Amino acid sequence: MTALFSNYKRADIEFVQAQGNNLIDSQGKRYLDFSTGIGVTNLGFHPQVQAALEKQVNAIWHTPNLYQNSLQEAVAQKLIGDYDYLAFFCNSGAEANEAAIKIARKASGKQEIIAFKNSFHGRTFGSMSATGQDKIKEGFGDAVPHFHYAEFNNLASVKKLVSDQTAAVMLELVQGESGVLPADEDFITDLAALCHKAGIFLIVDEVQTGMGRTGKLYAFEHYGIVPDIVTLAKGLANGLPAGAMLGKSALAPAFSYGSHGSTFGGNKLAMAASSAVLDMMTSSGFLDQAWENGNYLQDQLKKALADNPKVTQIRGLGYMIGIETTADLGQLVKAARDRGLIVLTAGTNVIRLLPPLTLSKAEIDQGVTILADIFTEQG
């Protein structure tokens, strides 16, 4: 008998220890982790993050947002770099998207938001309403009004929904949960131009694509655009709950004193982890290496699975990779786990890989060998 709601389907194993890019279960079995807890422990269980956490836990682990917080300032500066952004900290991706929706509505004085079919933005009312998938909303009554859904990678479908009441366009640059579907470059360039011309805020949800996942700190850097609003979570604190909304500094009046807040947002422990994460990610060559290794993994998979009749496409950006297949996803995930590799699924027909950015070439090869074996068995 469980004392928990059954809103998750849990495999019958528990991880009790981690070492670098490996997880160890309660039976002592070791697994190579190509899932990073769904895109969270992007640096694996790295000693540099652990040391930062240990140092902070020995000092102080929470203060309210009624006092100065130099860790938040430091993390914000590292996230912003040379961009003209200000930061708001929260605890999750859904909350970061709530903040984005709120600031866009308040700053524009308009309510309509164009989101996309098959998108995923979270489970709170606002972020769920932004999500373009009916199954996520079923049974919960009326969604937040004024969200409209365009076709991903289809500018004409966006144009049809634009009105003088449009506050923002909101999207993922690689739709993660629905199948690792990257946006086309032309679509994003044209969409950003359209938003700019019409005075519509462009909100990019980088909850999954951000924090080095695609080989850049932000996926928008691949597309040569600078969104008005960016949301982050997952890899931000490498496993501590943290989210952030970055918005252009011109939006500051919309988030003035008393307008929005969070008790735990920017918590000292989460910020200590985040600061260590950003120091590593922004160190010379780190992200270039992640980009190179992500491409190496994709290439090796393409070679190893080229002749497999049940693999229909391999796609992705950097270390965010989808293997589209006609084989049974549940069986593939289990077969990988039996051989000591943890992978994810996305949508109805994709094996999703979100490995640590710190994988060695040997670990990549080890993962590819296991994936080739399990697909051969299914093929």
Shortest Cβ 132–ligand PLP spacing (Å): 12
Q: Give the nearer residue to ligand PLP in terms of CB position, either 120 or 218.
A: 120
Helix/strand/coil (H, E, C) string of 223-251? CCCCCCEEEECHHHHECECCEEEEEEHHH
Per CB under 6 A, the list member of 46, 110, 121, 268 interacting with ligand PLP is: 121
Q: Give the nearer residue to ligand PLP in terms of CB position, either 56 or 131.
A: 131
Number of residues that bind ligand PLP (CB under 6 A): 14
- Single-letter code of the amino acid located at 209: T
Neighbours of 4 (CB within 10 A): 7
**Is residue 90 part of the contact set for ligand PLP (CB under 6 A)?**
no
The token pair that represents 173 in the structure block: 């640059």
**Is residue 363 part of the contact set for ligand PLP (CB under 6 A)?**
no
Shortest Cβ 291–ligand PLP spacing (Å): 20
**Residues 353, 356: Cα–Cα separation, whole Å:** 10
CA 264 to chain CA mean position, Å: 20
The token pair that represents 320 in the structure block: 């965010």
**Is residue 319 part of the contact set for ligand PLP (CB under 6 A)?**
no
Shortest Cβ 185–ligand PLP spacing (Å): 19
Shortest Cβ 70–ligand PLP spacing (Å): 25
Site for ligand PLP in 187-246 (CB under 6 A): 205, 207-208, 233
Q: DSSP secondary structure string, 270-289? A: HHHHHHHHHHHHTSTTHHHH
Q: Which of 371, 368, 343 is nearest to 38 (CA)?
A: 343
Q: Give the nearer residue to ligand PLP in terms of CB position, either 43 or 136.
A: 136
- Single-letter code of the amino acid located at 345: T
Residue 5's alpha-carbon distances to 1, 2, 8, 128, 136, in angstroms, are 11, 8, 8, 20, 17
Contact mark string toward ligand PLP, 152..191, x via CB under 6 A: --------------------x---xx--------------
**Is residue 33 part of the contact set for ligand PLP (CB under 6 A)?**
no
Site for ligand PLP in 101-120 (CB under 6 A): 120
Interface residues toward ligand PLP, by CB under 6 A = 92-94, 97, 120-122, 172, 176-177, 205, 207-208, 233
